[in-house]
Structure 1
């Protein structure tokens, strides 16, 4: 019994010393999203310490190699990432968030009073028509231009114009792929990708999050198109992959001869 207690004490001491030997470094982090990021929670589950992002999405947190970082907020999809050696060396951590659409519980208000008799109330209740709301309904909505809207009109299909947002342009691109009477040329596809990327992300968003000078955003989009752009990144559910791809391409663009400032 004494030997068992002694062995347990040695093991506990060993693990404690090992935990104390982990040297963590403070990194400068940034939350990147299209909407408000103030108050987003960043938690290091490996050290049980966390922090929150400010109104600009900036934060500081201590990390070590292979630490698990958890990011959560009500309006965004929760993210869990593992700290790599590049993060430790550069002391920079960028986290991309995607907005989450919350599904609310159904509440029906009846126009008449209930009697308390279940059979009577069931007979007098009018069936409520179920209305299905889904992402595709946005195609039938018209959005008024605001001060953030670009002053531009793009033809997305023959004889038809779409206003405003990237959803319509994406659907226009899908129509291009579905046409059976004509195979689109490479130039037409490049033009479509350019229009979709320009509509999906503003110049300010691309410049601020990928360190591209604003006057060179159009050049950067053309650079991405020239690299055999994978159109599947534009599909629903691939938002994170698209942002990560653009982040990698921005680094190559800035390092290349064409990207030198």
Structure 2
């Protein structure tokens, strides 16, 4: 009789281990043209908002369950999305092949800045972006001012009159996607990934919105064009997240 509780304990333990094992999928990412492994490929589970990168041998492991979608991105290669299947979990590691992009480089004209060697003169010739982020006490809204954001004052006045309505059309219709923002901010792998990206593709894929909608959100949250064009994806994430938190306060 004493063996029954012990046996039950081991059965439960094995079941838990099996479930935990199914929560991880592994594989190898290869270049489709030559089957060579790709290092530092960015991989994000769009459903669970978990991220990782491939090793020098192209290997990866990430938390996932059946029907989760994994998003693969790598500079110079076409991004792909792969669905996690029962067979993947059952038979183990799979090979994922990525295709190189054919990029036609356009002519780039660089306007040189002539330096005189005199610090006081040269400093005046170098363009400086002086946009600053401001907030209005009690309004829970911010805006940018500066020579590269001439409409900041008008946007601030607009925010005073009806800020909640302006943001409802953007955030109110996508509550599930916006809730992923917090998960993205808490995941160190994804934060590191976004810090090196400027194309908004990963953000758009995780939040299930377009790059145009990202720009619209930032515009409604009173961020300047200069910020939108120069910020990396992590800065964009933090900006959208801050605006979403303001929206939730105003909604109450």
Please indicate the TM-score interval, normalised by the length of the shorter structure.
0.3 to 0.5
TM-score normalised to structure 1 length: 0.31
Larger relative contact order (C-alpha < 8 A, sep ≥ 6)? 2
In our comparison, the structure showing a higher alpha carbon Rg is 1
